[in-house]
Chain A
Amino acid sequence: MKHIKTIAPAALKQSAEHGGCGECQASCQSACKTSCTVGNQSCRNDEQRPTENV
């Protein structure tokens, strides 16, 4: 495309396929302890474990 560059993929819905494993860090715990934000957290689902305990 000439006028538009996609810088993040449309991956939100697909992320549920292997999501919910819960191995990631609690977001508030990481560095802020006051204002919550989740977008800057990392996924720790290295092994693509199947969804459980959603």
Chain B
Amino acid sequence: MIHTFQNMGRYFCVDTNSGAVHELDKPACTLLERLTPPLNAEECPADVLAELELGGFDRAELCEIYTELRELEQSGQLFTSDECEAFAASLRPAPLKSMCLNVAHDCNLRCAYCFAAQGDFGTGRELMPLATAKAAVDFLLAHSGNRRNLELDFFGGEPLMNWSVVVDTVAYARSLEPANGKNFRFTITTNGLLLDDEKIAFINLEMANVVLSLDGRRHVHDDMRPTPNGHGSYDLVVPQYQKLVAERQLQDPDRSEYYVRGTFTRKNLNFAQDVLHMADLGFRKLSMEPAVLEEALPFALREADLPAILAEYDRLTEQLATRRDIDFFHFMLDLGQGPCVLKRLRGCSCGNEYCAVTPNGDIYPCHQFVGLEDWRMGSVHTGAWDAQKQAELVRAHLYNKPECRECWAKFYCGGGCNAANVLYRGTLFKPTPLSCELERKRVECAIALAAC
């Protein structure tokens, strides 16, 4: 399986099964798109040569390119067969390594697109007691097997609304590191409203990553992220974010990871301007996510918006090609040393290596599954863990998703968001088409940027 595409006036080919990516000149890409594997013949097929000569291509050059393409095929870098399915058959339940702690099912913003029903996940406002947070840490340790690096994400709602539990949970987990031979990596996601000097100092000291929610330009942000009394929150959070990031970068460079993360809807399909606005504010690590929403909502992204969104990703790519100091999360791609094929097959590994815990101690496959009662997997209080559900989620790998099997981008994507698959297609095994289109486009943009 191969995929050819053009981006920023350059031509590329992804050889899906081997992971090879090639940049070609225009004649080479044009010829490749007309060839049918395997390239057994020593000479370029006469009908293809004739067609391309009529199109103005040079015959001698085409013959030269054909020889190069055959070399790639013979060296296992083009038209390779799929040898990765065998690895899928060996996937089995793995130790837990990553946990999302929903320390607050409450929020001090009323974001219009919130998947968590304005913070309470539709189940009532609730803060996680420290005893539950400690039980969650114990559960993670007990189920982590031989994994050394464990990740604990403080999430919500808004986690700063339960700050003392965040602080005390970090101390508790840290105290357990030496005896258990583990290394905790803490992360937190915040809307910024409750940030103050004390919290900024603690986050910069203890959190390996911090995700700061900002939708971009003031009017875009304020429109979607108002306070409960209807005022915008942009002016309240931006100065705090700037202070946090500035101090973070001054500290240990190893602790400099952060993301300023936005969400775009059909109300700002020109979201590249919002990404660039974040950069203008001084932020360098950026993420901008399509809103995950029911299509009936007026600002939900729809299939009809695709041409505009794809064009906007192209505009963003062109801009970022001139701004190499900016890391845009979805255009980051390590072409040389990315994750192993086993991780690529598993995808997000929710409900297997990753889970989310609610304030009352219930366990779900991930934060997006929270509130879907059928997907409750256990409790950190009783130690219950639904191994059958875990096994079902392990089966949700690329090769058990028919649409993913046929997709050229599958090893970059990992099979989409399982929660979105369940919510919008009723099964783990069918990805959401709109998300697929966006992911394929982002991979193309990422490859083009990586080649710059």
Binding site for B on A (CB under 8 A): 1-13, 15-16, 18-20, 22-45, 51-54
Contact = CB atoms under 8 A, between A and B. Distances in A.
Contacts of B185: 25
How would you classify the secondary structure of chain B's contact residues: helix, strand, loop or mixed?
Answer: mixed
B344 A38 contact: yes
A39 to B, nearest CB: 3
A6 B417 contact: no
Q: Which of A5, A34, A52 has the most CB of B within 10 A?
A: A34
Contact of A16 (B87, B290, B450): B87
B211 interface: yes
A40 B24 contact: no
A2 B22 CA distance: 12
Nearest to A12: B19
Nearest to A38: B414
Contacts of A54: 87, 90-92, 94, 342
A7 B451 contact: yes
Given A16-B341, A29-B354, A42 B334 contact: yes
A12 B339 CA distance: 9
Nearest to B259: A31
B189 interface: yes
A37 B69 CA distance: 30
Q: Which of A3, A19, A28 has the most CB of B within 10 A?
A: A3
Contacts of B413: 36-39
A32 B95 contact: no
Interface string B69-94: 10110011100100110010011101
Interface of B: 12, 15, 17-25, 27-28, 61, 64-65, 68-69, 71-72, 75-77, 80, 83-84, 87, 90-92, 94-95, 97-98, 100, 115, 145-149, 151, 153, 155, 185, 187, 189, 209, 211, 259, 261, 263, 285, 287, 289-290, 292, 329-330, 332-344, 347-350, 353-354, 366-368, 411-418, 420, 435, 438-439, 442-443, 446-447, 450-451
5 contacts: A13-B83, A16-B342, A22-B97, A33-B289, A34-B115
B145 A41 contact: no
A25 to B, nearest CB: 6
How would you classify the secondary structure of chain A's contact residues: helix, strand, loop or mixed?
Answer: loop
B32 to A, nearest CB: 9
Given A23-B149, A32-B289, 8 more contacts: A24-B339, A26-B98, A32-B261, A33-B367, A34-B289, A35-B438, A37-B442, A39-B333
Nearest to B71: A1
Given A4-B68, A23-B147, A39 B290 contact: no
Nearest to A21: B340
A41 B338 contact: yes
Contacts of B19: 8-13, 15
Q: Which of B22, B27, B339, B350 has the most CB of A within 10 A?
A: B339
Nearest 8 interchain pairs by C-beta: A19-B340, A39-B412, A12-B19, A10-B18, A26-B98, A38-B414, A8-B335, A8-B21
A31 B155 CA distance: 12
A39 B24 contact: no
Contacts of B412: 37-39
Nearest to A16: B341
